[in-house]
């Protein structure tokens, strides 16, 4: 495929992003928006047309009444997004405007290692490409549950991905699918997705926090995810919040050992078994919604809503701990918005109330005077959407 031909000129890059973000645009409007002459614009459009990225798209009538031919991204342009989690993989295909055409999710254990897991990803990609009638892809964006060197396209010392350290994920996918590929951390793509189409739409500086099995965050600064020196920025799961229990990282009392999804399940089960929570005991015996005898955030949230005192106390204690960490980060970063996402966010309003109360009390007034703390709007689809955005950002980047 020729889509990946680079380098793009700055004008080409700006043109491609504008068409992605706004849809078909008249040549007259492009001349104005890009600050180039008509002849130069025509040359750039021809160059992008020759590699299959843009096409003519009818004629518009401008305010002055003069018709001007429109340009659009090629209507057959397709992107794929892959969101690999610890225990599942989600794959989506999006069109040139990044509208999701189809999305599939399957259980998948990342610990099986890169070769079988990337084989699964390939199978799923082929499946959604076939069912959406997509002959080829312009670019693939992928997220993985660990630190990533974005520049090199490889996971770097990912704690829960044995066998993946520095595995050439980007180059391997690019080889198999013959298109540009980006690889990023899973929380980074969720934040990117939430900025594209969720509660953080268009916001340039915000803090995104995912509380799932583990806990991670992403700081979006100046409209871009801040990745840090080694790709590990946002790694807040190992901030010390208590004196125990011992974490896999070797330290005691890491945030995600005390209030991640796994910790919540452990504590809820203990409350059920000890008889301290009748509501949780009933769910454990009756079978949790997942039907596997495991209590999740959904169970705890439901028990708390029923007024179960032990479940309420569990949510409040966790919210205070997480809120304490967020209060420090809010002081340090002074963001315009905090977004809470991930499975534990299903605890819902009681969790949010406790987090808000802690942050508003404990952070400085200046940092909180105008600071919404909200739940993700996109939930599980934020990741694949963000992967589509990141893939197209890179494909449409200037040289």
* Token digits of residue 169: 């994920």
User: 122: closest CA among 85, 176, 70, 41?
Assistant: 176
Stretch that binds a second copy, among 286-294, 307-315, 357-365, 384-392 (CB under 8 A): 357-365
The 362-391 contact track toward a second copy, x by CB under 8 A, reads xxxxxx-xxx--------------------
Q: What does the per-residue mask of binding to a second copy show for 222-261, with x meaning CB under 8 A? A: x---xxxxxxxxxxx-xxx--------x-x----------
Give the residue with the Cβ less far from a second copy, 117 or 233.
Answer: 233
Calpha distance 182→312 (Å, rounded): 42
Q: Is 399 in the site for a second copy (CB under 8 A)?
A: no
Q: In this chain, which of 156, 160, 317, 353 binds a second copy, going by CB under 8 A?
A: 156
Query: Binding residue for a second copy (CB under 8 A) from 298, 334, 348, 360?
Result: 334
Query: How many Å apart are CA 31 and CA 42, to the nearest integer?
Result: 10
Question: From the list 264, 302, 333, 355, which residue makes contact with a second copy (rule: CB under 8 A)?
Answer: 333
Give the residue with the Cβ less far from a second copy, 120 or 320.
Answer: 320
Binding mask 133-152 for a second copy (x = CB under 8 A): --------------x-----
List the beta bridge partners of residue 68: 60
Q: Are 374 and 359 in contact (CB under 8 A)?
A: no
In the list 22, 287, 332, 372, the residue contacting a second copy (rule: CB under 8 A) is 332
- CB burial of 308-337 (b: ≥16 within 10 Å; e: otherwise) equals bebbbebbbebbbbbbbbbbebbeebebeb
**In the complex, what is the shortest distance from the CB of residue 235 to a second copy, in angstroms, rounded to a whole number?**
5
> Would you call 25 exposed, middle or buried from its count of C-beta atoms within 10 A (0-12, 13-18, 19+)?
buried
CA atoms within 13 A on the CB side of 110: 21
> CB-wise, 66 or 201, nearer to a second copy?
201
Question: Does residue 293 belong to the site contacting a second copy (CB under 8 A)?
Answer: no
327 binds a second copy (CB under 8 A): yes
Spell out a b/e string for 122-159, using b for 16 or more CB atoms within 10 Å of the CB, else e.
eebbeebbeeeebeebbbbbbbbbbbbbbeebbbbebe
Compare residues 118 and 254 and give the one whose CB is closer to a second copy: 254
For residue 291, what are the CA distances in angstroms to 84, 262, 299, 306, 348?
23, 17, 11, 20, 21
Q: Which is nearer to a second copy, 312 or 338 (CB)?
A: 338
CA atoms lying within 13 Å on the CB side of residue 242: 17
Q: Is 301 in the site for a second copy (CB under 8 A)?
A: no
The piece of 64-72, 115-123, 270-278, 326-334 that touches a second copy (CB under 8 A) is: 326-334
Q: How far is the CB of 41 from a second copy (least distance, A)?
A: 20
Q: How many residues bind a second copy (CB under 8 A)?
A: 45
Tokens of 164: 């993946």
User: With binding defined as CB under 8 A, does residue 205 bind a second copy?
Assistant: yes
Residue 361 within binding range of a second copy, rule CB under 8 A: yes
What six digits make up the tokens of 179? 């298109």
Which residue, chain included where needed, has tokens 């028990």? 303
Residue 290, classed as helix, strand or coil, is coil
Q: Does 323 bind a second copy (CB under 8 A)?
A: no
- Enumerate binding residues for a second copy (CB under 8 A): 147, 156-157, 205, 217, 219, 221-222, 226-236, 238-240, 249, 251, 324-325, 327-329, 331-336, 361-367, 369-371
């Amino acid at each position: 495929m020729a889509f990946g031909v680079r380098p793009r000129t700055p004008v080409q890059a700006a043109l491609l992003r504008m068409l992605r973000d706004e849809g078909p645009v008249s040549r007259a409007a492009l001349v104005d928006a890009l600050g180039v002459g008509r002849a130069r614009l025509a040359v750039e459009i021809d160059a992008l047309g020759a590699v299959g990225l843009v096409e003519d798209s009818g004629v518009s009538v401008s305010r002055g009444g003069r018709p001007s031919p429109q340009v659009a991204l090629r209507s057959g342009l397709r992107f794929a997004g892959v969101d690999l989690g610890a225990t599942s993989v989600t794959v989506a295909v999006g069109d040139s405007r990044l509208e999701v055409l189809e999305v599939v999710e399957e259980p998948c254990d990342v610990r099986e290692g890169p070769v079988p897991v990337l084989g699964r990803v390939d199978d799923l990609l082929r499946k959604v490409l076939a069912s959406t009638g997509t002959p080829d892809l312009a670019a693939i964006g992928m997220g993985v549950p660990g630190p990533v060197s974005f520049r090199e396209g490889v996971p770097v010392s990912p704690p829960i991905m044995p066998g993946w350290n520095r595995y050439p994920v980007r180059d391997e996918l690019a080889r198999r699918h013959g298109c540009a590929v980006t690889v990023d951390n899973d929380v980074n793509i969720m934040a990117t997705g939430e900025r594209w189409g969720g509660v953080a739409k268009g916001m340039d500086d915000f803090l995104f926090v995912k509380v799932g099995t583990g806990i991670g965050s992403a700081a979006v600064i100046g409209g871009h995810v801040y990745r840090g020196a080694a790709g590990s920025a946002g790694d807040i799961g190992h901030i010390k919040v208590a004196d125990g229990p011992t974490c896999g990282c070797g330290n005691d009392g890491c945030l995600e050992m005390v209030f991640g999804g796994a910790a919540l399940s452990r504590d809820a089960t203990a409350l059920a078994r000890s008889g301290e929570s009748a509501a949780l005991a009933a769910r454990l015996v009756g079978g949790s919604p997942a039907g596997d005898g495991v209590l999740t955030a959904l169970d705890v949230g439901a028990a708390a809503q029923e007024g179960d005192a032990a479940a309420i106390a569990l949510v409040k204690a966790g919210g205070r701990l997480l809120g304490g960490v967020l209060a420090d980060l809010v002081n340090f970063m002074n963001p315009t918005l905090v977004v809470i996402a991930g499975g534990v966010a299903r605890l819902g309003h009681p969790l949010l109330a406790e987090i808000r109360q802690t942050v508003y009390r404990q952070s400085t007034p200046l940092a909180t005077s105008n600071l919404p703390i909200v739940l993700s709007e996109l939930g599980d689809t934020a990741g694949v959407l963000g992967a589509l955005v990141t893939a197209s950002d890179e494909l449409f980047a200037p040289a």
